[in-house]
């Protein structure tokens, strides 16, 4: 179950749900919501399974976006965003939902991610706003 309150327009709307050692991933028609587990390190090497699932669901031509629903604390290797330049060319944008509004470390990390991310990247405090922004790019 998605950890944040999503409202009725999210209930049952996802097509596939996958649970891995890294987290839970919800695949919708035009976006995937990622919820990485507490304490994991998110980098290219340990996200190969997620990359496989993305390829399986969206293929090479279907445009999609990512909503990173950061309900838990975990580490991200922002330089691994550079790998996206060669992979998932159909990935149009990344939205981050951060519930720690006053956490300076989270804010600074997101600013670094935004700089190195080869796709449009934006932070939000709720999933509905993130999805609205994502729709403006993907659709």
Nearest to 66 by CA among 131, 9, 126: 131
More confident residue, 3 or 69: 69
Does the predicted model carry a pTM greater than 0.85? yes
Whether the Cβ atoms of residue 137 and residue 65 lie closer than 8 Å to each other: yes
DSSP string of 34-86, one letter each residue: EEEPTT-EE-TGGGHHHHHHHHHHHTTTS-EEEEEEE-S--EE-GGGGGGGGT
Burial 56-94 (b: 16+ CB within 10 A, else e): ebbeeeeebbbbbbbeeeeebbbeebeebeeebebbbbb
Query: What's the whole-number average pLDDT of the chain?
Result: 86
More confident residue, 29 or 108: 29
* pLDDT tens, position by position, 1-21: 565 544 555 655 889 999 999
């Amino acid at each position: 179950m998605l950890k944040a309150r999503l409202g009725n327009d999210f209930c049952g709307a996802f097509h596939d749900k996958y649970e891995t050692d890294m987290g839970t991933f919800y695949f919708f028609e035009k976006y995937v919501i990622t919820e990485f587990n507490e304490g994991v390190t998110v980098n290219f090497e340990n996200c190969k399974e997620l990359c496989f699932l993305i390829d399986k669901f969206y293929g090479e031509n279907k445009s999609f976006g990512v909503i990173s629903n950061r309900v838990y604390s975990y580490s991200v290797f922002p330089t691994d965003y550079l790998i996206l330049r060669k992979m998932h060319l159909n990935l149009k944008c990344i939205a981050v939902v951060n519930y720690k509004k006053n956490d300076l470390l989270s804010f600074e990390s997101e600013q670094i991610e935004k700089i190195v991310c080869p796709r449009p990247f934006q932070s939000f405090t709720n999933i509905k706003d993130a999805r609205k922004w994502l729709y403006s790019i993907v659709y």
